[in-house]
Structure 1
């Protein structure tokens, strides 16, 4: 008798487990239907290979998520309370909550471009009224719960018939093949740079596709070049409407950008020429780069967009509107500097690239870039725009035999190794000062000259430390402008950023009548901004500069808040209103 009861108990549990698997599969199917809403934000594939990958990924990913929810939330209850009525009701509630969270995540992703996390939830809670409109947030959960209860009862009544069909192993094998295949395809796509596949990397929540890039690079295997010449459909409205610009006087324009150029190091002893030049022209004392690396800094300068757009696929074949307009207006565009592999890939497409050889000494490369620019501009017989990029300070480099300046004590205490780099950095800046002097000595007086840093610099040779540091030393850079026909000597003490340089030039010198918001972040260096924040960084990690604090946020929503000097971490929660504006600005130009 006791054995019979144990056997019946085991059978009941076995039937409940079997029912649970099919119920999880059903919810995986529902999750796939909900998951389609994510494509409204990122757009659908444009080729059969994209559709094939997305189909496999969708089936594998959401089936896997549904099984994980079952395994964690329902399976233990099956063993503890093996009663079908209780389990069916409980499982239906769990499934309803899970699908509602997934639905809410689609709303959050569409509005902010991020998936739910504790950080994003805090922000979304403050913006709940704007996100949830109407009565759908009440009706939808009730409808889902009714559907789940109906499905739970339907499957339970027919579980014996389903078991007799004996197709469970085939279904599991099919889902498993989809899951594994999607990851194998992604490994290939990541190595071959097939953007039609890799652009969906962050589309689904809790999705971490397998990659081969790190392994391949560690083994010395080169990445495979993609032969896909078909351009995907645009996902950005860049610009929002066609630009209306007409350059009348067509002044020559020169941008001199210096990599790793700290604002607090521009003084009369280290860079006497540039310091004096700044005194005679417009000098911006609170200027921030758009990032702490070459890519994000140059992106914010030329595209005038915040770094959250840097990974937009459109921009790999769409050059900055600024350079497009100059080219259309008959300007000759020249790019001078060392070889670069920038993001986005199209950022320099409008330029005639005059690349300096990659010598062992970056200072020697900068000397060659300077000479080539001087020769090039003297040969021009039409309006020109030149971008001269100097890189020596990035490597603390100076040419052999350079005498430089005497060493000094740093204003702030530094570690012994930092003291050495501090003075070597000053030598490099002093060398760059001479190169800038040589360049400007040959430039016509009526040229628009903009001199700035691409990014700041830490006194460290650790790249990982520098790329994750958003202190003022690493992002605050000099900005000096000589405007033809405008007031010369003037100090600007309100905060400005790289995003505001191109809109100022396009409005004042190129006579573009479009509102700046239609083709940029909408800021101009010529007047204070109404926003109380400035975005610095890229789409994976960024900082929000506010009046008295700096908030650093990574792609997983983890954040740290520092004081304005970045030397003390503050124990406080993140402020919602500014972050909501930041998230919306990062989605504003995407097509709906």
Structure 2
């Protein structure tokens, strides 16, 4: 009996090993499914091959340990245990092959978004299969079942012929060695942002290798201060941006461009009481009342504003050293580009990701507090404005931080009362009266309004409203439990109270008034490029947006990042893909909708559009 048990355990182990080899091969061919391989090198191939096997072994040995071993130890017949294991392995193979088709089309693995698409109305319009396709799928499924069965039979055959001692030790050591190689390469390659390692990791489904950046930095193996620099040494890119070479028809007058951006700007404060200077300026400008950011946080909001595409592409731009079309074209057209940041541009790494080729860039500003720095960036901008001689057009980005930090001198907290002196986040819950907290925020916004007012006043005094395009907006909004679902701040949901921001657009001879159709941050760079240097291409060549003055629908607006993103529909419905891959659908007040009639055909269309800047 003991010999039978020993033989069964050994045979099951061999079966799991063979199944791991087969699954590793399936994973390995993923990278050839329409993938551009320019980024791969020898190290990348070694890492990718060893990682495929490591990940496959983890997946295939789990059923062996969790299912096969208990059955054998419970004295269930080995034949029954093998049949059950074959069923599980067949299912895993079918899932892996199915996922390869999904990855080839959408550039991501099966997740809640795909499942929702398959189960929604209109799915039959997207996934239209001929009889021959069904036959092919049936044959593939039978083939995978046959493969699992053949591997099972092979494990019996191999087990009956193995005679060497130390079986498990001699089998486990190579597996552990392969795992050690893959993880070691990733630990260093991930820390140094080696393109072949980072990009190939994304190809393997649900694979999360070890990272030890902080540890390597402590050992001195990797210089933490050079990590961002290392990222930009890579020349490979997985994106095509712009899609076509830009065609430019020179304009008669190259307008200056000034973007005055307020971090965490809640649109409820854009009124005569809280922001009188901005409000008065808006009367001579265009006020886009339904404007949405490209994210609910600074990184995605500024990225979308500058690049015209979603932070869904953040990693690809980062690893590929891709710079915003807007900035590059303005530099090429002879513009002097400068930023005036209250918070540092080193993190998030906007200095390198968005403004890498700008010489003499202001990366940080002196000052002990956000209040001090907001005052200082205003002084710095006004100082440079006085030096302006009209010979060279300029692009300036002034980025205020006070409404985000909400840190004001007590003596300045006198316009809106009652007010908190500092944010008390531990006191917040769904029953908290938001008034004193919101008044603190309004006092901060009012202070920034005064600073912006000084800029607008001086520009008008210098006659610069005749040759300058001015945009006043926010990177994202700031929620004060407006939905009564206990959400405060930002970066926690995609309702309007975290994504909707004011958008004031001024250009010489513009027609003042409110524009009540939806616009987005993706519209900013196309509008600037068309207005300032005369780009003639369709905006779809280099952005996800349109010209601000194009009132065409912006339904299914994409917000967020590559891991955690959502689509905001025209009626405010939020289709959110969470970090786990699950899909959650909510109304505009963040109430979950369990039976929303999602149009699978439309969902497929927007996903394809979302991925269109990736290399095919």
Change in 2 beyond 3 A, CA 1:177/1:440: same
Which of these residues, 436, 440, 446, is aligned with residue 424 of structure 1? 440
TM-score where L is the length of structure 1: 0.88
The alignment partner of 1:569 has SS state of: coil
Match of 2:455 in 1: 439
Residue 454 of structure 1, aligned match among 465, 475, 486: 475
How far did 1:91 drift?
4.1
Contact 2:539 2:545 in 1 (8 A): yes
Per the TM alignment, residue 302 of structure 1 is displaced from its structure 2 partner at its CA by 0.6
Residue by residue over 1:183-217, the C-alpha shift from the partner in whole angstroms, topping out at 9 and shown as x without a partner, is 34434444444454334444322322223357799
* Residues 1:255 and 1:373: Cα distance change in structure 2 (over 3 Å): same
| 1:533 alignment partner, one of 556, 568, 571 | 556
- State how far apart, in whole Å, the 2-side matches of 1:463 and 1:57 are: 40
Gap change, CA 1:18 and 1:557, over 3 Å in 2: same
RMSD (Å) for aligned C-alpha atoms: 3.4
How far apart, in 2, do the equivalents of 1:269 and 1:465 lie?
22
Assess, with a 3 A threshold, how the Cα gap between structure 1 residues 147 and 201 changes in structure 2: closer, same or farther.
Answer: closer
Q: Measure, in 2, the Cα distance between the counterparts of 1:347 and 1:66.
A: 43
- Shift of residue 86 of structure 1? 5.3
Aligned to 2:426: none
> 1:372 maps to what in 2?
380
Change (3 A) 1:178 1:125: farther
Structure 2: how far apart are the matches of 1:409 and 1:91?
A: 65
Deviates more, 1:313-322 or 1:329-338: 313-322
The equivalent residue for 1:27 is 19
Residues 1:550 and 2:574 aligned together: yes
Number of the residue aligned with 2:249: 246
Q: Which residue of 2 aligns with 1:478?
A: 502
The aligned counterpart of 1:382 is 392
- Equivalent pair of 2:293/2:301 in contact (CA under 8 Å): yes
Most deviating of 536-545 and 289-298: 536-545
Hey, what's the Cα distance between the residues in 1 that align with 2:306 and 2:416? 36
- Which residue of structure 2 aligns with residue 4 of structure 1? none
What secondary structure does 2:526 align onto?
helix
Checking the alignment, whether the CA contact within 8 Å between 1:88 and 1:153 is kept in structure 2 is no
Match of 2:312 in 1: 308
Change over 3 Å in CA distance of 1:271–1:207 after alignment to 2: same
Query: Structure 1 regions of 5+ residues with no counterpart?
Result: 1-6
Where do 5+ consecutive residues of structure 2 fail to align? Answer: 421-428
2:210 matched residue in structure 1:
210
The partner residue of 1:103 within 97, 100, 122 is: 97
Aligned length: 579
Q: Which residue of 2 aligns with 1:281?
A: 285
Q: Provide the rounded CA distance (Å) in 2 between the counterparts of 1:31 and 1:131.
A: 26
Deviation of 1:232 after TM superposition, in Å, equals: 4.4
Task: Answer yes or no: is the 8 Å Cα contact 2:51–2:179 preserved in 1.
Answer: yes
Counting only pairs closer than 5 Å after superposition, residues 109-508 of structure 1 correspond to structure 2 as: 109-126=103-120, 127=123, 130=126, 134=133, 135-164=135-164, 168-213=168-213, 223=224, 225-226=226-227, 228=230, 230-248=233-251, 249-314=253-318, 317-338=321-342, 339-340=344-345, 341-343=347-349, 345-351=352-358, 352-380=360-388, 381-398=391-408, 402=412, 405-407=415-417, 418-443=434-459, 444-445=464-465, 446-459=467-480, 466-487=490-511, 489-508=512-531
Distance 1:54 1:225, change over 3 A: farther
Instruction: Report the counterpart of residue 42 of structure 2 in structure 1.
Output: 48
SS in structure 1 at match of 2:226:
coil
Residues 443-493 of structure 1, C-alpha deviations (whole Å, 9 max, x = no match): 301211111101111359x99963223332221100000122332x12111
Deviations 1:77-110 (A, max 9, x none): 5556855665555544433321110011122223
